[in-house]
Amino acid sequence: MLSNIPNATLKRLALYRRCFVELDEMRVRRIQSGELSQKIGIDSATIRRDFSYLGELGRQGYGYEVRVVLEAFNNLLKPDDAQRCILIGVGNLGRALVKYFSSDKFKRRLFRTPVNLVAGFDIDESLVGQHIGELPIYHLDNLSSYIEENHVTYVILAVPPFVAQKVATSLEGLGIKGILNLSSTVINVSEDILVHEVDLNMELETLFFYVFQREQLKK
Amino acid sequence: MLSNIPNATLKRLALYRRCFVELDEMRVRRIQSGELSQKIGIDSATIRRDFSYLGELGRQGYGYEVRVVLEAFNNLLKPDDAQRCILIGVGNLGRALVKYFSSDKFKRRLFRTPVNLVAGFDIDESLVGQHIGELPIYHLDNLSSYIEENHVTYVILAVPPFVAQKVATSLEGLGIKGILNLSSTVINVSEDILVHEVDLNMELETLFFYVFQREQLKK
């Protein structure tokens, strides 16, 4: 069902899903694409086109049943088979994610992200052997054996930029499918591994570019 | 010069800029669009089109002078007039940014992001009155008076989702131009304020969607 979804649509799916999880938690049962559009700032036509890739989810004039949409997302994300994921680099950014995934709010969530964060890795001796919340922290030296023994498929890479490529290279050939790269630099890996990058400083700059553009247009 | 740059191009500018800053720090003086393309995973035609909006930056077959490109970005970002920015919510995510902006590496950088992070705000009494690095932390009660007195124009919003809208609403009418929303929920504000949102959990889900799509296509 998920084949041939354009990249532009794939990029928006997580935003839609989060919105529907919030609607469900507010006990909203149904929403029109127009309302949804206002809520998330994406035009209705785009929403309807994007949703058409997920199956028959809504009827003209009736809107979308919140639970039906969430079930459709669940089918895509296979929550029964949560993705085994490790965190490499347990600094502030890494901790923010650990805290989020170990929060009661997240765990109690009916339609939560199907991620199973199983271990953290660092080289800081004061962290190794400790737990952050429930997450055990191991030394980076044990990385490859851990990944193979525990069938880990996803990595959140939150190490400093100057070691990011070295760590990324050490992940090759171990069965990793995807890396969320938070290391503030480009990493190059073989095509088996998909990399999705987020750099908060870059996002702040992007906001500046948007604002400057807007001010330019006002003149 | 920055007028009428398409949104798709605006979104990529920070990535280009970061790459050229790195090239400059590695003392690379010139790069071809083909090499650049390999480095950042964007095709050469798109790069050349994007760069055409920034002025006459390269010549056919010669490539781009790194410093010339960086100067062009600097003209857009007006670094002499750094953007006064505050952080609301001093948790792990907020601290990660504070640490980054107060690092020597960032401060020594010749072509750094023109941001001046001037204060943090929280309601946690154990934080209020303290400093994180050099950043003074004030109580949220002092938010609006601080913004007006100090001509703050940007906000990094890193509060929990359930208070995000309330805090965002309190920012109206104070001269704020942009919000980097890290609060993991949609916020609605008047059109004067541009909101750019990043949710790390959503980014992880987006990676899952990309990987699932790829696996589907393999079948």
pTM, two decimals, is 0.89
ipTM of the complex model: 0.90
Q: Is B71 on the interface with A (CB under 8 A)?
A: no
Quick check: B105 pLDDT over 80?
Answer: no
Q: Is A92 annotated as a binding residue?
A: yes
d(CA B120, CA B128): 9
Q: Which residue has the higher pLDDT, A179 or A5?
A: A179
Q: Would you state the pLDDT for residue B192?
A: 94
d(CA B113, CA B133): 19
d(CA A160, CA A211): 29
HSE-CB for B164 with a 13 A CA cutoff: 21
Quick check: B58 pLDDT over 80?
Answer: no
d(CA B74, CA B17): 9
Kindly compute the dihedral angle of the four CA atoms of residues A86, A91, A97, A103, in this order, to the nearest 10 degrees.
100
d(CA A98, CA B184): 15
Quick check: A219 pLDDT over 80?
Answer: no
Q: Residues of B with CB below 8 A from A182's CB?
A: 200
* CATH architecture entry for B2-75: Orthogonal Bundle (1.10)
B184 with B170: CB under 8 angstroms?
A: no
Show Cβ contacts of residue B179 under 8 Å, excluding neighbours closer than 6 positions. Answer: A207, B154, B155, B156, B157, B168, B171, B187, B189, B193, B194, B195, B196
Question: pLDDT, tens digit, for every residue of B187-197?
Answer: 999 999 999 99
Sheet holding B58-59, edge to edge: B30-31, B63-65, B58-59
Q: Is A75 annotated as a binding residue?
A: no
- Classified by CATH at the fold level, domain B79-201 comes out as Rossmann fold (3.40.50)
Q: Would you state the pLDDT for residue B78?
A: 73
Q: Is A90 annotated as a binding residue?
A: yes
Task: Judge: B210–A198 Cβ closer than 8 Å, yes or no.
Answer: no
How many beta-carbon contacts under 8 Å exist across A and B?
A: 192
Q: What is the mean pLDDT of residues A99-115?
A: 80
Q: State how far Cα B110 lies from the chain centre.
A: 17
Decide the pairing of beta strands A63-65 and A58-59. antiparallel
Task: Judge: B77–A208 Cβ closer than 8 Å, yes or no.
Answer: yes
**Residue B82: DSSP 8-state:** P
Task: Judge: B203–A196 Cβ closer than 8 Å, yes or no.
Answer: yes
d(CA A84, CA A155): 9
So where are chain A's domains? 2-75, 79-201
Percentage of chain B beyond pLDDT 70 is: 97
Q: Is B154 on the interface with A (CB under 8 A)?
A: yes
Q: What is the mean pLDDT of residues A104-122?
A: 84
